[in-house]
Structure 1
Amino acid sequence: MHSKLILALALPIAALTSCGDVDSTPKPLTEKQSELLTKELAGRVAGTAVNCISDFNSTNVVRVSDDILLYRVSGNLVYKNTLRSSCPGLARDSDIMVTEQFGGQKCRGDLVKLVDRTSGIPGPVCSLGEFVPYRKDKSGN
C-alpha cells in the first residue's frame, strides 16, 4: 500500500521535472560583465570553434557570467566557452568550480560542477560548449 502511494506521489513530480525544453539562451551581460569580456578579448580575433582544448594549457579561468567562461592559455591566446545552458551562480565566483572531464582535455559536453566553498554542498551542474579561440591580431589593426 505504501509503495503505491509513494509511486502515485512521485509520478506527478517526475512529470514536472521532465516536461518542457531547457532554455539555453544566454542572459544578456551586465555592464560589468560586458566590460570584463571586452577587456579580456581586446586586440584579439575570433577563430574557428573547436570541441576540445588541452587541459594543461587552461589553468587560468575567468568567470565572465553564468553562461561564459574564458580560458587564458597565454598572452596571445584565450578560449571563450559559452556553456550549453546557464549555470546559476557561476559568475559570483564564490563557489569552487570542479570540471568533470575524461582524459587530458577539456571538451564540449564536459561537466562543470559548483560546490559551496564553506559547506561543501554541491550546487548546479552545467555543460561546456565549444571553445572559440581568440588570438592577438598580428596585422596591427
Structure 2
Amino acid sequence: MQRLTLASLTILASAGVLASCATTGQPQQRSPKALAELASYLDGRTPGKPVSCLPTYRRNDLVVIDENTILFRDGANRVWRNDLKGPCNSLGRPSTALLTRQFSSSLCSGEIAQVIDTTGGFTVGSCALGDFVPYTGPGRRR
C-alpha cells in the first residue's frame, strides 16, 4: 500500500474542489424571483468591459442573486456582476454566508469561495469566482 504524503493529500483535495466547480455546459435556469431581483439592479445600466479582479474596497456591499450570480454594489451608479464558475450550492439560503480568503488587495476570478452555514460553522458548498462586469448608469429606482 502506498502512503500518501501531505502534498498528495493537498493535491487531491484541490482536485476535488476544482471538480465541484466544473460546469455542465448547460445554461442555468433562474427562478422568477432571481430574474426580478437581477433586473432590479441591472435594468437601465450599461455593461462594461469585464475585469479579472475587484479591489477590496469595492466588494463590501454583496448581493446574492442565486447560486450562480452575485453582485457588488459600488455607489449609486455602478454594480459589479460576477457569474460564478459553476453553481455555489446553498448560496442564498437562510443562515448561509459567502466566505472568501483574502490573499491580496483584490478579489479575483478563479478564487475559490465557500458557502458557510453560519449556525454550525461548516462548509455547505463552494465555487470559483468569475470575471467582474461593471454595469454603470442610474439604473431604475429600487
**Do the two structures share a fold, i.e. TM-score over 0.5?**
yes
Report the Cα distance in structure 2 between the residues aligned to 1:24 and 1:95, rounded to whole angstroms: 26
Q: Report matched runs for 1:86-101 at 5 Å.
A: 86-101=87-102
Q: Which structure exhibits the higher relative contact order, with contacts defined as CA atoms closer than 8 Å and separated by 6 or more residues? A: 2
1:92-133 per-position Cα deviation (integer Å, ceiling 9, x unaligned): 253121112320101101111111111111121210000110
Which secondary structure state, in structure 2, belongs to the residue aligned with residue 134 of structure 1? strand
Gaps of 5+ in 1: 5-13
Which secondary structure state, in structure 2, belongs to the residue aligned with residue 92 of structure 1? coil
2:78 paired residue number: 77
Give 2:105's aligned amino acid.
G
Distance 1:25 1:129, change over 3 A: farther
C-alpha displacement at 1:136, in angstroms? Answer: 0.2
Report the Cα distance in structure 2 between the residues aligned to 1:93 and 1:136, rounded to whole angstroms: 31
Which secondary structure state, in structure 2, belongs to the residue aligned with residue 39 of structure 1? helix
Q: Which of 1 and 2 has greater Rg?
A: 1
Aligned-residue CA RMSD (Å): 2.3
Distance 1:75 1:137, change over 3 A: closer
- Residue 45 in structure 1 maps to residue 46 in structure 2: yes
* Percentage of matched positions with identical amino acids: 28
Report the Cα distance in structure 2 between the residues aligned to 1:131 and 1:30, rounded to whole angstroms: 22
Contact 2:76 2:138 in 1 (8 A): no
1:43-72 per-position Cα deviation (integer Å, ceiling 9, x unaligned): 210011110111111100110010000011
Contact 1:24 1:84 in 2 (8 A): no
Contact 2:89 2:126 in 1 (8 A): no
**After TM superposition, what 4+ stretches of structure 1 lie above 2 angstroms from structure 2?**
none
Give 2:54's aligned amino acid.
I
Gaps of 5+ in 2: 3-11
Distance 1:82 1:22, change over 3 A: closer
Contact 1:101 1:111 in 2 (8 A): no
Give 1:119's aligned amino acid.
G
Give 2:118's aligned amino acid.
R
